[in-house]
């Protein structure tokens, strides 16, 4: 599909080739001139590519040649790893400038990633008031509202008129994260209302802020989980949200651009957990930035748990060993029956886990879910067994009773796997855990054991073993 993004990407790719050429000829200023025509997020992306291809040194050279304001902006769009690397390479004076000019929330993000000794050195050179504020923010738990917010909001006085309010916004607005929502506090700093800028702009001049103020607004405590915050943004279509402490004093605001990142990170976390990858060091680093050891550590917990489960699966098979050695053709269907159980189980689990995450399914719906999955399982199982009846008789040339054994097994396996796959996430949720944590591998392993037991039971009935 043709689109404007594509034009932009093409232009960036063309420039990248030019920049690569300039860098090889050491024409750094020409490379810089090529770079500055783009927006900060694009420059950040190009610099990351340069550091992948030509090493960090080249990125640092280019970065230091950027106009100072652009450099700060670009810095805020870089990945955590790149920020740390750049800080390590530039002078203290350059660091102070960048850290000083960053938006408050980007400043906190950066400091959180840096080694403690570097942070301390930066803080020593920071004015005392700001140092105190930074330390407070650094202490909010990761994934809390406190760690997402910025103190750079604009507050108005209740008794101000519209022109007075507009004058105040003109004065302080450029340093704020947003001027589109304005906050009204009482003398004890307690939040008493919010005014959208649109209301101010469209109000008659004589109106007072207090008359425009909305006293019913959505806010959260600093300790609220970021998932709760993003659920509020989704439900109430917010652009920004005030964050308050226990005494309902306004301490910061969260803006929608940071929430978009949260929604994406939460989806990534769910997807990974559902497929048995646990992010043990809880980093937001990308796949390529995670070391081999960390990757192995993230993937081992579930595999090891499953190894224990397979000891039981092994026992089920061993208990049936004699029969299988008498009727060895039965072995050929084990992979199909196990696989079908695992796959249908994880289909059901996926739908329920995602439904719970997006609030489309609730705990109280458990019976409706159960009844729906039993019926879906019966329909799916019946259709799959028609296919397999033909396969066993025609392709494999086995007896009718063998075909009946396989088909009855399939129907029961699919129904059981759907029930297991849909109920386990609800039980886990009931225990106040993340349903995504009981990953699909676990569900398919449970389904495996159930599938084998059903198979051997059916064989005993129909083949008189």
Query: By CB under 8 A, what part of segment 183-202 binds its own copies?
Result: 197-198, 201-202
423 neighbors 284 (Cβ within 8 angstroms): no
Beta carbon nearer to its own copies, 184 or 369: 369
Segment lying near its own copies (by CB under 8 A), choices 25-33, 111-119, 127-135, 374-382 = 374-382
**Can residue 104 be called a binding residue for its own copies (CB under 8 A)?**
no
Segment lying near its own copies (by CB under 8 A), choices 28-36, 57-65, 120-128, 327-335 = 327-335
The nearest distance, CB 446 to its own copies, in angstroms, is 11
Total residues in contact with its own copies, by rule CB under 8 A:
126
Report the distance separating Cα 219 and Cα 202, nearest Å. 25
Binding mask 143-162 for its own copies (x = CB under 8 A): --x-----------------
Beta carbon nearer to its own copies, 115 or 286: 286
Please choose, from the candidates 439, 406, 274, the residue with its C-alpha nearest in 3D space to the C-alpha of residue 335: 406
**Can residue 440 be called a binding residue for its own copies (CB under 8 A)?**
yes
Pick out residues in 270-309 that bind its own copies (CB under 8 A). Answer: 270-272, 274-277, 286-288, 292-293, 295-296, 299-300, 302-304, 306-307
The nearest distance, CB 224 to its own copies, in angstroms, is 4
Beta carbon nearer to its own copies, 124 or 237: 237
Pick out residues in 23-52 that bind its own copies (CB under 8 A). Answer: 39, 41
The nearest distance, CB 240 to its own copies, in angstroms, is 10
Q: Which member of 193, 252, 355, 425 binds its own copies (CB under 8 A)? A: 355
**Can residue 257 be called a binding residue for its own copies (CB under 8 A)?**
yes
Structure tokens at 324: 């299988």
Report the distance separating Cα 150 and Cα 222, nearest Å. 11
Pick out residues in 201-230 that bind its own copies (CB under 8 A). Answer: 201-202, 216, 218-221, 223-225, 228
**Can residue 247 be called a binding residue for its own copies (CB under 8 A)?**
no
Beta carbon nearer to its own copies, 122 or 410: 410
Q: Which member of 20, 164, 245, 365 binds its own copies (CB under 8 A)? A: 365
Binding mask 7-26 for its own copies (x = CB under 8 A): -x------------------
Q: Which member of 59, 110, 313, 409 binds its own copies (CB under 8 A)? A: 313
Structure tokens at 131: 């140092």
Beta carbon nearer to its own copies, 120 or 387: 387
């Amino acid at each position: 599909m043709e689109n404007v993004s594509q034009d932009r990407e093409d232009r960036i790719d063309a420039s990248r080739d030019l920049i690569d050429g300039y860098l090889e000829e050491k024409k750094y200023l020409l490379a810089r001139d090529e770079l500055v025509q783009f927006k900060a997020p694009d420059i950040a992306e190009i610099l990351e590519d340069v550091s992948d291809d030509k090493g960090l040194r080249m990125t640092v050279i280019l970065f230091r040649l950027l106009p100072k304001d652009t450099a700060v902006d670009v810095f805020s769009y870089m990945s955590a790893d790149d920020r740390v690397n750049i800080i390590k390479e530039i002078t203290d004076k350059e660091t102070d400038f960048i850290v000083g000019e960053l938006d408050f929330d980007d400043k906190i993000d950066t400091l959180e990633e840096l080694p403690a000794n570097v942070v301390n050195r930066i803080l020593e050179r920071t004015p005392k008031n700001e140092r105190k504020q930074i330390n407070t923010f650094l202490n909010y738990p990761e994934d809390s509202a406190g760690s997402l917010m910025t103190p750079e909001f604009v507050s108005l006085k209740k008794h101000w008129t519209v022109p007075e309010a507009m004058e105040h916004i003109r004065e302080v607005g450029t340093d704020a994260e947003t001027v589109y929502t304005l906050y009204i506090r009482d003398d004890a700093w307690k939040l008493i209302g919010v005014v959208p800028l649109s209301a101010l702009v469209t109000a008659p001049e004589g109106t007072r802020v207090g008359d425009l103020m909305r006293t019913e607004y959505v806010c959260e405590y600093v300790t609220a989980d970021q998932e709760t915050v993003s659920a509020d943004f989704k439900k109430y279509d917010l652009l920004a949200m005030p964050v308050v402490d226990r005494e309902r004093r306004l301490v910061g605001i969260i803006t929608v651009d940071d929430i978009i990142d949260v929604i994406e990170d939460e989806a990534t976390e769910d997807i990974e957990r559902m497929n048995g990858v646990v992010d043990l060091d809880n980093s937001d680093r990308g796949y390529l930035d995670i070391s081999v050891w960390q990757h192995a550590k993230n993937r081992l917990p579930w595999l090891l748990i499953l190894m224990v489960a397979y000891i039981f699966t092994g026992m089920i098979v061993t208990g049936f060993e004699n029969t299988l050695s008498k009727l060895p053709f039965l072995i050929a269907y084990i992979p199909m029956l196990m696989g079908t159980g695992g796959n249908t189980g994880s289909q059901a689990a996926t739908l329920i886990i995602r439904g719970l995450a997006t609030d489309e399914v609730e705990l109280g719906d458990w019976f409706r879910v159960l009844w729906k999955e039993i019926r879906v399982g019966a329909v799916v199982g019946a259709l799959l067994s028609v296919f397999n009846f033909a396969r066993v008789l025609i392709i494999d040339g086995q007896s009718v009773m063998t075909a009946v054994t396989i088909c009855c097994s399939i129907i029961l396996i699919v129904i059981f796997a759907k029930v297991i796959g849909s109920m386990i996430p609800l039980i886990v949720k009931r225990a106040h855990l993340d349903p995504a944590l009981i990953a699909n591998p676990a569900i398919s392993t449970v389904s495996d054991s159930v599938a084998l037991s059903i198979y051997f039971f059916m064989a005993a009935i129909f083949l008189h073993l």
